[in-house]
Amino acid sequence: MRSLTWKLGGALLLIVVVSVGLMAYLTNLSTAREFQQYVSRGNMMYTQSLADNLGDLYAERNNWNNLQERLESLPLSTSQRVIVTDSSGVVIGDTAGEWLGRESGDIGLSNGTPITASGYEIGDLYLLTSSDTGMGRGHMGGRTSQPMPVTVASEGDFLDRVNTSLWQVGLIAAAVALVIGLVLTRQITRPVRALISGARHLTRGELSYRVKVKTHDEIGELADSFNAMASSLERGEQSRRQLTADIAHELRTPLTVIEGTVDGIIDGVFKPDKEHLFSIKEQATLLTHLIGDLRDISLAESGQLKLNLTSTDMVELVRRMVSNYEVTASEKYVRLKLQEVTQVPNIRIDPVRIEQVISNLLTNSIRYTPSGGNITVSVKIEEASLVISVADTGEGIAPEDLPHVFERFYRSGSSRARKEGGTGLGLAVVKQMVEAHGGKVWVESKMGTGSVFSIFLPLSTY
Ligand code: ADP
């Protein structure tokens, strides 16, 4: 595996090498060009001022006497050579002394700088440099000797030196950039390594492990998401353990009753009469309910609950449910009534599941409302929802219990609720079923006054 450090480092090295190389190459090109122009201009000015000077020399005496001595006294570099021809093109002065008396055309001299005296052209001046002086050669062959541009050896040296220092600076810059880059790369990859190590801890089942990344960039965000994921996994694991313990506990109670009753009958302590058989049957029914509710909750929680959605008249459904429970309520001397409702539109729901929800709410309200109490069911429209409420004048729910009543196996005043025959799953089923329909549940309650349980089903589903 090629590590991220090396990938980033390699990319950085490439960028540094390419940009420093390009910079050195382009600087070199422009330096050479600028320098050539600078030298050319210098030579041109020097040639012109020398031509003026020689013109003055001629004008002083009206002849070319002492020209050669004058030329030899010029402060020229070893690579430079000055040649003067008279107006007929014959060489009359040569700092190298080589071509004196020769025709300029024969030795390939052309385009000289004119020397003038009193307005007359009295000759030409040629400034040759090492590249075109033809030092040591008899003549210039057919080559046209251009006095300019020139490249003098020392000037070439200068360009070489510029080049060398350019490369040196470039290399130092590259090395510095690389060191800084590697340090930065390590800093960037450190949180990534922390994340990798965090993932390994989670894989080993250490769900309480959290990565410590404090950066405020995308990797910091990734670390936050990672920690949130770990927390959620941990919570999930905790609730799974809790659920397993709760299920074991809930199953044990009815099984103990069944076992105890059957043992009593076997030992002859109880008669196998209707009363004892009924008790066994009651506990078996409770177990069946418990298992059915658990299955529904787990299906709904994992999103696998299949809903048979059909367009349903909710008023009709609620009215039917209320009449189903009228007998049970009246047996307890509790008044159960459906509030007058206005017409509401049909909505698409799974009637079996929603009947289960309303049934659980009605069972609870009858169970927790003492004799002489009232239960009022209503169906209405609120904003974009169809709201079904079951309000009772029962014992109410303590404020500390209220946020938990929709949790699995939560029972407020547990001994009482258990005695009443509840599984502790009724409201958890209500919540899961309503949420599977895209709705929500709501409860308001006051101790001693009563409770109102409401379910909100989205109207958009009709
Ligand atoms: P259970 O099977 O015990 O009724 P639920 O999930 O249906 O379980 O209800 C959870 C708890 O909420 C109950 O134990 C009870 O304490 C409380 N509760 C539910 N409905 C009512 C109500 N209408 N009035 C008072 N308390 C209620």
Q: How far is the CA of 202 from the centre of ligand 1 (A)?
A: 38
Tell me the per-residue pLDDT of 274-308, one tens digit each, with 9 for 90 and over: 999 999 999 999 999 899 999 999 898 888 889 99
Residue 385 — φ and ψ, nearest 5°? -130, 150
CA separation for the pair 24, 236 (Å, rounded):
61
Q: In 10 A of CB 185, how many CB atoms?
A: 19
Q: Is 71 in the pocket of ligand 1 (CB under 6 A)?
A: no
Q: For residue range 32-89, what is the model confidence (pLDDT) as tens digits?
A: 888 888 888 888 898 899 999 899 888 888 888 888 888 888 888 777 889 999 989 9
Is 158 exposed, middle or buried (CB count within 10 Å of its CB: 0-12, 13-18, 19+)? middle
Could you tell me the distance, in angstroms and rounded to a whole number, from the CA of residue 236 to the centre of ligand 1?
A: 24
Cα(410) to centroid(ligand 1), Å: 8
Angle at 54 between CA 50 and CA 56, to 5 degrees: 115
292 alpha carbon – ligand 1 mean position (Å): 18
pLDDT band at 133 (very low <50, low <70, confident <90, very high): very low
For residues 223 and 210, the answer to whether their CB atoms sit within 8 Å is no
Mean pLDDT (the chain, rounded): 86
420 vs 374: which has the higher pLDDT: 374
pLDDT of 340: 78
**Sheet architecture: strand order including 81-86:** 91-94, 81-86, 120-128, 113-117
Strand partners, 85: 91, 124
Q: Which atom of ligand 1 is nearest to the CA of 425?
A: 6
In tens, the pLDDT along 347-389 reads 999 999 999 999 999 999 999 999 999 999 999 999 889 999 9
The atom number, within ligand 1, closest to the CA of 428 reads 6
Q: State mean pLDDT over 153-164.
A: 74
pLDDT for residue 280:
94
Ligand 1 atom showing the smallest separation from residue 390 Cα: 23
Question: How many angstroms does the Cα of residue 371 sit away from the middle of ligand 1?
Answer: 17
Quick one: what percent of the chain has pLDDT higher than 90? Answer: 47
Residue 402 DSSP symbol: G
Least Cα distance to 370 among 449, 266, 282, 254 occurs for: 449
How many CB atoms lie under 10 A from the CB of residue 311?
Answer: 12
pLDDT at residue 417, rounded to an integer: 53
Which tokens belong to 4?
A: 């991220």
Give the separation between CA 123 and CA 88, rounded to whole angstroms.
8
State which ligand 1 atom lies nearest to the alpha carbon of 410: 10
Q: What's the average model confidence in pLDDT over 183-200?
A: 89
Token readout for 201 is 């801890």
Bridge partners (DSSP) of residue 461 are: none
Query: Per-residue pLDDT tens for 145-156?
Result: 444 444 445 667
CA 431 to chain centre: 36
How much is the pTM? Answer: 0.59
- Going by pLDDT thresholds of 50, 70 and 90, the confidence category of residue 143 is very low
pLDDT reported for residue 430: 96
Distance between CA atoms of residues 85 and 108, nearest Å: 12
Distance CA 262, CA 249 (A): 20
What pLDDT was estimated at residue 149? Answer: 40
Is residue 386 exposed (0-12), middle (13-18) or buried (19+ Cβ within 10 Å)? buried
Window from 5-19, 213-227, 228-242, 339-353 with minimum mean pLDDT: 5-19
* Residue 225: pLDDT over 80: yes
Q: 4 versus 385: which is more confidently predicted?
A: 385
Is residue 373 within 6 Å of ligand 1 at its C-beta?
no
pLDDT of residue 83: 92
Give the tens place of pLDDT for each residue, 37-47: 888 888 889 88
Q: Quick check: CB of 432 below 6 Å from ligand 1?
A: no
Lowest mean pLDDT among 136-145, 264-273, 328-337, 439-448: 136-145
- Name which of 9-18, 198-207, 443-452 the model is least confident about: 9-18
State whether the beta carbon of 55 lies less than 6 angstroms from ligand 1.
no
Report the percent of the chain where pLDDT is more than 70: 91
Query: To test ligand 1's pocket by mutation, which of 297, 375, 397 has the most ligand atoms within 8 angstroms of CB?
Result: 397
Please tell me the predicted confidence (pLDDT) of residue 432.
94
Residue whose C-alpha is closest to residue 93's, from 129, 127, 121? 127
